[in-house]
Structure 1
Amino acid sequence: MPTVFGDRLCVDDRVYTIACHPLEPWLASLPERPLVRTTPFRQHGYMATWAVVDDALISMEISGQTVASLLDRLKVPIAARWFSGYVHGWPGDRRDTGYPPHRFHDDEIVLEIA
């Protein structure tokens, strides 16, 4: 189940909600994952805003005190070199259609990060 408040991605002056969490591979690589307070609305305990700059995925802002303090040591913004995969995003609300219901979004964006 996707989080209620997903990470955000800024591309060409548009803001998309994305269905992945590019920060997770970096957190998984740490010797000990920082403790963060999770809620049903923030299942990972943080929210991140990303941007595409010069064909690179860049972390722009991280909320969540513990995770944010770790990234402060890395001098955010920083290129997310630890992440590779697809980033699927959409502006606005999701809609369901058909039977069985399929979820779709107006004006979706899919990026491949390598």
Structure 2
Amino acid sequence: MTMDFAEHMTVDGLVYSTHTFAIEPYRKSLPSPPRFNPWPGCSNGYRPTWEIRECGHERTLLMIGFHPEAGLPLLLPNATLPLAATWFSGIIRGVRGERRRTGYPPRDIYPDEIYVEIAAGRVVREWLLDLRAVPDQTEEEWRQSVPSFLWKFYPRPAPG
């Protein structure tokens, strides 16, 4: 996969960039997944937009847009937006602000990051990180300052 532009996810009125591509598990599960014409910065040929919204008594991941609009019926016949992303389970990392490289080995961080754990489209947990004041840190200092489940988002480089 080439480096694609980020998809956008709105949480509590703030727009985050994410590279999770939450519709891919659904598309790949289809017996004959539709193929879309790629364009520069979008190798899969479509670009959904997302929102975390209160639905009843729980927060839900919703697909609120799909570009190109004509492609949505190919992927999800008879679907209307907004659509609960019930096919998706996992953690979505969203970022806001200007990228900064810090520590050694260097890793990318952003002033504002959000991690949203989703189970069948429903929000299980959310973590907001304010990283504006984070100084350069060694890998070990950084690992001691965040929960271990986040480590997989910043993998250790191979030794050597």
TM-score range, shorter chain: 0.7 to 0.9
Q: Which runs of 5 or more structure 2 residues have no equivalent in the other structure?
A: 120-160
Q: Give per-residue Cα distances to partners, 1:82-106, cap 9 Å, x unaligned.
A: 0000000011332212332211111
Could you tell me how far apart the structure 1 residues matched to 2:92 and 2:64 are? Answer: 16
Q: Give per-residue Cα distances to partners, 1:56-111, cap 9 Å, x unaligned.
A: 10000011355323346211211000000000001133221233221111110000
Native 8 Å contact 1:35 1:66 kept in 2: no
Give the Å deviation of 1:53: 1.4
Tell me which amino acid in the other structure corresponds to 1:21.
Answer: F
Q: Structure 1 residues 65 and 13 mapped into 2: Cα distance closer, same or farther (>3 Å)?
A: closer
Could you tell me how far apart the structure 1 residues matched to 2:117 and 2:47 are? Answer: 21
Q: Structure 1 residues 84 and 77 mapped into 2: Cα distance closer, same or farther (>3 Å)?
A: same
TM-score when normalising by structure 2:
0.64
Alignment correspondent of 1:80: 85
Tell me which amino acid in the other structure corresponds to 2:29.
Answer: S
Q: Number of residues paired by the alignment?
A: 114
Alignment of 1:22-33 (within 5 A): 22-33=22-33
Could you tell me how far apart the structure 2 residues matched to 1:29 and 1:11 are? Answer: 27
Could you tell me how far apart the structure 2 residues matched to 1:103 and 1:11 are? Answer: 21
Tell me which amino acid in the other structure corresponds to 1:90.
Answer: V
Tell me which amino acid in the other structure corresponds to 1:59.
Answer: M
Q: Structure 1 residues 58 and 66 mapped into 2: Cα distance closer, same or farther (>3 Å)?
A: same
Answer with 1 or 2: which has the greater Rg.
2
Could you tell me how far apart the structure 2 residues matched to 1:112 and 1:106 are? Answer: 20
